[in-house]
Amino acid sequence: MKTTENLKKVALILFIILGLGHIVTGLMTANGYFMPLSFIINHILDIPFAMMALIYGLASIRTGFKEGEHKIANILFIVLALLIFAGLIYINVFIPDIITS
């Protein structure tokens, strides 16, 4: 259980850092500041930001469980994380982005 709590703490720190970076570059893209660079950084940060949110959320749920083995819950969380990650990769690769300037 201590490992899950440590993972939750690290995921929260990375979630905050990536979230702030994603929001700032999104605002820069919307206002047209440093346009090519802010657009690229914004679209690079979306998958790591979503994955840190997912890891933090699942770790928070996992720490709420009672002590003991939760193999089924662990397997479900891993499968859910992999499905969401595959979906994000699919969206980023196969759905085109349009730069408006």
Domain span at 40: 2-94
User: Quick check: is 73 in a domain?
Assistant: yes
User: Quick check: is 17 in a domain?
Assistant: yes
| pLDDT of 28 | 93
For residue range 18-70, list pLDDT tens digits in order: 999 999 999 999 998 888 898 888 888 888 999 999 999 988 888 887 777 67
User: Quick check: is 43 in a domain?
Assistant: yes
User: Quick check: is 100 in a domain?
Assistant: no
For the residues of the chain, what is the DSSP string, one character each? -HHHHHHHHHHHHHHHHHHHHHHHHHHHHHHTTTHHHHHHHHHHHHHHHHHHHHHHHHHHHHHTSPSS--HHHHHHHHHHHHHHHHHHHHHHHHS------
User: Quick check: is 99 in a domain?
Assistant: no
For residue range 76-96, list pLDDT tens digits in order: 888 998 999 999 888 888 887
User: Quick check: is 26 in a domain?
Assistant: yes
Count of domains forming the chain: 1
